[in-house]
Structure formats: C-alpha cells, structure tokens
Amino acid sequence: MLGQVTRMPRDTTKVYSYIERYSKKRKFTKFVHRLIFRPTERTNPTKKKKQTRQQQNIFKKHECKIIRNINIEVLDPFGFAIDNPNKIPKKWIEKAGNSMHTKSKKWAIRNHLLFKKNDELDSLLVKESERLIQRQRYIRNVSIKPVPIPNSKDSVDISITVLDSWSLIPNGSISSSNGNLEITERNFLGLGHEFENNFRQRFTDNTAAYGMRYIIPNFRNTFISTVFHYDEDFDKNHVKAAGINRVFFSPFTRWAGGIAFEQRFYRDSLSETNDVMALKNFKLETQDYWAGHSFRIFKGNTEDDRITNLVTTLRFRNIKYPESPELAYDPIDYFSNSRLYLASIGITSRRFVENKYLFNYGIPEYVQIGKTYAITSGFEEKNSIRRNYFGGRFSFGGFHNFGYFGSNFELGSFFNDGASEQTTFRAEALYFTDLIEYGNWKFRQFIKPQLTIGNNRIPTKSDLLNLSDPNGIEGFQNSIQGTKKLLVTFQTQSYIPGNYLGFRMSPFANFSMGMIAHQNENLLKTPLYSKFGIGVLISNDYLVFNSFLLSFAYYPTIPGTGDNIFKLNSFKNNDIDLFDYQIGKPAIVPFQ
C-alpha cells in the first residue's frame, strides 16, 4: 500500500485562498488554477453542497490520530441491516438463504482499504475506501466509523461493517433461433473474485457456444486486477485473453499500468476486386503494455487541491497477423502487422458523489464529476509506413440546479506526409435529472446524445461505423455502415414505493434512435432507425438472485432482418454509461 496514495500532512490549515493567490504569481499555475477551480469569490455554497456527499463528517475530530485497530464485520445478505445492529434473521427463509451463502473474507474487504493500522487517520482516504468497497458488486452496503478509545487523545479504532449481497446471478434470454444462459458468481468462495460462464445454444442446427471470464479484482491490496477470458461462438470464432491491470482507481492513486495478451480467430466475408464475396480467416495476436504516473499539482490540503493531478502515460501495442486474407481480398493490406507507440499528458480533477436510485433500488451508487484536459501523441508503424498521430480530449461534468450534466469531446488523426488520415471526432453528452418524487414514487429522466464523424477513413468495411449493438442501438444487428452517425437515447427510470411479498419494482422505458451516413451524404437526411423498449427491474432479498430484469423491445425496422420486430431482454436499464474523468491508457480516439 505504501506509495499507492498521497496522504494528508498533519498540517490541516485551510489553504485554498492562499493557493489561489499564489497561483496568480506564475502564468502556468494561474492557467491550471483557472482550468480546474472557480474563484473563491464566485463560489456558490448552495451549488457546492450538491456536489459533495451529503453526510456528517464523523471523522473530523479524529483527523490525524493514529489508527490503532481496524475491526471488520461481515454480515450475511438476509435479515441483517447495516444501520441496525439489533436486527437479526428471524424468518426461516432468511436463515436458509444465509446458510447457502459464503461470506466475504475479511481480508478481501481489507484489500480495498487505502489506510492501515498505525497510519494517521485521513478522512478523505477513509471516504474513498468506503467507495472502493461499495463499488464491489458482491457488496450491498458498507459503513466505516471511528471508535474513540477511552483515555486516549491521539489514537482511534476503525469499525467497518459490510453487508454482503447474494452473489450468484443467473441471467438469460431466448428467441425462436437461439437461447442464452449466463451464470455469474460475483464472490467466488468469498474471495471477491468474479467467475462468469455463458452458455449459448442455436436451435436451428443444435450448435453450442461457450464463454468464460475469471477476474481477480485486487491482488493483496495492490489494486492490480487479473483477468482470464475465453469465448467461442456458434461459428467457432474464438478469443483467448489474459492480462493484469492497475488503473488510476482513485484521484489519490500515483501509479498505474498494465500488460495484456490476446489471441483472436474469426471468419468474415470480404469482397474481391470483382465484388465476389468470400468467407476469409483472420487470426491475430496482440500484446499491449502501458504505464503511467500521476503528480499532484498543488500542495494544499483541501479536497480540490488533493484531487487535481498532472497525469503522464505511455503505451506500446504490437499486433501480429499469423493468418489474414490474400491481397485479392485485402489489396490495401489493412489486416497486417502493426506497432503503435503513444504518450499522453493531461490535467484531471475528479471526485465521486454518492447517489441513490440511479439504476438500482436504494443501493448507493457513485457518480463521477470533474474535468479532464488531455493530449495524446505518437506514431504507428505498419506496411513499412510510419504515420504520426495526434489527438486531444476535453470533458467535464457536475451537478447543477437542473440536475447532472456532463460532456466529452475528442478529436484525433493520423498524419502521413502532411495529410490527415483516419480522422475521428466524437462528441457526447449525458444529462439526468435530480430524483423526482410524486408522492412516494421516484423518477429520473436520462438523455444521452452521441455524435461520431470520420474523415479520410480507409476503404474497408472494418474501418466504418455501424448501428449494431454494442456500439449502436441495443439489440440492433444490421449491415448498414458509414463514416458518421448520430445516436440519441432517452430513458425514464422509476421506483415503485414499498414492496409486494418482498418484491421491489423498478419499471423503466427506453427510446433510442440513430442515423448513419457516408462521407458525401447529409447525415440528417438519412433514414432514422429506432427502438422502443419497456422493462422492469425486480429486486427481492430472498431470491437466489437479488434482482432480475425483464424487458421488451420493439424495432419498427431492422434492415436485412425485417419490420415490426419484437425482442425479449435485448437491453438493460443500465446500458447508459456514466462518464469517467480518469486519464488512463493512451488510446486512439475510438471510431465506433
């Protein structure tokens, strides 16, 4: 753990105003300060309150005391309450469920702490540790509290209470042509590991497919995750992958990096020069390495000072094609060996705000807010040609009087002999309302538009956009392609008060629409494709699975498939991703 995070010095004097005055003495610090912070004289206490976690700082009077002991208690998922130590299981079904559940190991919880015994208590690191534990999918709730020590003025104990969640999650879908059963154990043997198995069956020819993923999320408190992945589809296309990775999981993280290896085999149809289509084999092997470091910009002790960082990262990716189509089907040699070298540098300021009733019923969820400014540069070696690359990213998001609003803008391009190639521009936004209450009913409205525009793309279908899932309309599968597309998603999430026989209902409605066009076409004059969906997330603590989702989607038309199509469980209520203001592994602006 040492060196993973920056701890707060013993001096806890408020220095924000001093930092602001000091920053004005130098052009660079003044520029950085204006990018990240608002002037003190303009700070609106009302707005600021909405962007901070609404809880009493129970650690304030214990700040900088020595942590003597850390006591961890793990509760079974049924019949216990995190805020009521006197509540115990009484019903036979609660006791039966707990008897079949394997509790999280205490060391698995300790793995996610940013502090340890004999450290000075830092309330920001305690709060961040609570978030890191809460984000584990096998944890339903967590509480970290100080315990005063009688007759001790310089020491304190820490009490951590964790309420487990039932971790064995089945999921599935079925249609007239195939079926899918997914079984995920989110807390394998209480170790905190995730083991996912996916079984698929095609009814027309009785062909089976299988996928597996095993994740070790945090190895011995290093926050290094390990992933093993295997998947084979109905057509024997397969992928084998393994990797270790450590992201900037917290604003207080100082180093990150990763190594990944992947082998992929698939078949795809390509056209020859005379437009004759043929099925060709593709086999590629990828090695991916990256590393990064985060530097504090300001030396103050306020939260704003401590979460503002200058981040630098490096990456090397090597792709080899042991098997690829012959030149008649790939005249530009698009599917060939390549080496990519990238470096990024940027400034980020981010924090996490606890919220509830976003995509789950009453469970704490964390929304990331902040700002990011980053540039990426490097070069690619492919087909004996070296192309330079340059890109940039600007993103921001936060809570306002009208709700949450965030946006992300990215622009990147390769350059060959002074000419731009494979240019990509992406703009996306996310808005959701504050929790709207009508009586005891709760609602939220989400809106997420996404625009992607490409220029001077390579003339091959693998370098084009589409509207297919997962980068288009959920459940949409078609062959329409282009170089620019617009997607807009609307979702209404609701929560019915109370419960019925232990069942809590969260109905939702979703509408997605998209347009796609080629470079010489007017995007707004192309056909509009859409999906109308309704569903309900049903939660019950006494089920073998905590919650299950049922959704129906209607597609007026899917080119190449038909009109007036209905699908079951083709989308989820959390398909809308929240923004991440982390600067991580350097990457080409995604064209998808």
pLDDT tens, 283-337? 999 999 999 999 999 988 888 899 999 999 999 999 999 999 998 888 889 999 9
Both tokens of residue 459?
């003339």
Least confident of 407-416, 486-495, 534-543: 534-543
Name 161's bridge partners.
Answer: 73, 143
pLDDT, average across residues 247-276: 91
Least confident of 1-5, 131-135, 420-424: 1-5
Least confident window among 316-320, 347-351, 534-538: 534-538
d(CA 449, CA 466): 16
Q: Which residue has the tokens 């070298």?
A: 341
Task: Give yes or no for residue 11 having a pLDDT over 50.
Answer: no
Cα 515 to Cα 237, 512, 518, 524, distances in angstroms? 30, 11, 11, 7
Mean pLDDT of 245-262: 97
> Tell me, what's the pLDDT at 36?
54
Confidence band, pLDDT 50/70/90 cuts, at residue 29? low
The mean pLDDT value for 520-545 works out to 84
100-148 pLDDT per residue, tens = 999 999 999 999 999 999 999 999 999 999 999 999 989 989 999 999 9
The C-alpha atoms of residue 87 and residue 72 are separated, in whole angstroms, by 18
- Answer yes or no: is pLDDT of 386 > 80: yes
- Measured distance CA(354)–CA(368) in Å, rounded: 9
Q: Say what the pLDDT of residue 409 is.
A: 98
Question: What pLDDT does 168 receive?
Answer: 87
Q: Comparing 3 with 368, which gets the higher pLDDT?
A: 368
HEC sequence for 9-25: CCCCCCCHHHHHHHHCC
Q: Which amino acid is at 177?
A: S
Residue 51 has pLDDT above 70, yes or no: no
Per-residue pLDDT, 188: 95
Please say if the pLDDT value at position 273 is more than 70. Answer: no
What does the CA dihedral 212, 214, 215, 219 come to, rounded to 10 degrees?
Answer: -160
Average pLDDT over residues 412-427: 96
Among residues 572, 569, 548, the alpha carbon closest in space to that of 175 is found at 569
Distance separating alpha carbons of residues 592 and 585, to the nearest angstrom: 18
Q: Is the pLDDT of residue 47 over 50?
A: no
The pair of three-digit structure tokens given for residue 460, joined into one six-digit string:
């091959």
pLDDT tier at 531, thresholds 50, 70, 90: very high
Beta carbons within 10 angstroms of residue 59's beta carbon: 20
Joined together, the tokens standing for residue 546 give: 């905590």
Mean pLDDT over 67-78 rounds to 95
- Give the position of tokens 């006197």: 86
Share of the chain above pLDDT 70, in %: 88
Higher pLDDT, 302 or 397: 397
Return d(Cα 267, Cα 235) in angstroms, integer.
Answer: 8
**What is the pLDDT at residue 485?**
96
- What's residue 6's pLDDT? 60
| Total-model pTM | 0.85
- Residues whose CB is less than 8 angstroms from the CB of residue 236 and which lie 6 or more positions away in sequence, other chains included: none
**β-pair type (66-75, 155-164):** parallel
Q: Which residue has the higher pLDDT, 356 or 37?
A: 356
Which residue is listed with tokens 């899932």?
469
Stretch among 40-44, 180-184, 288-292, 567-571 having the lowest mean pLDDT:
40-44
Query: What rounded mean pLDDT belongs to the chain?
Result: 88
Q: What is the DSSP string of 573-589?
A: TT-SPPP-----S--PP
Q: Is there a contact between 448 and 489 (Cβ–Cβ < 8 Å)?
A: yes
pLDDT at position 31:
56
Q: So what's the pLDDT on residue 50? A: 44
Residue 42 has pLDDT above 70, yes or no: no
Q: Looking at the predicted structure, is the pLDDT value of residue 13 above 60?
A: no
Band the pLDDT of 465: cuts 50, 70, 90. Answer: very high
Question: How many Å apart are CA 78 and CA 386, to the nearest integer?
Answer: 60
Residue (of 314, 296, 313) closest to 305 by Cα position: 296
Would you say 169 and 184 are in contact if contact means Cβ atoms under 8 Å apart?
yes
Residue 219 CA, distance from chain mean position: 20
Q: Once rounded to an integer, what is the mean pLDDT over residues 364-387?
A: 96
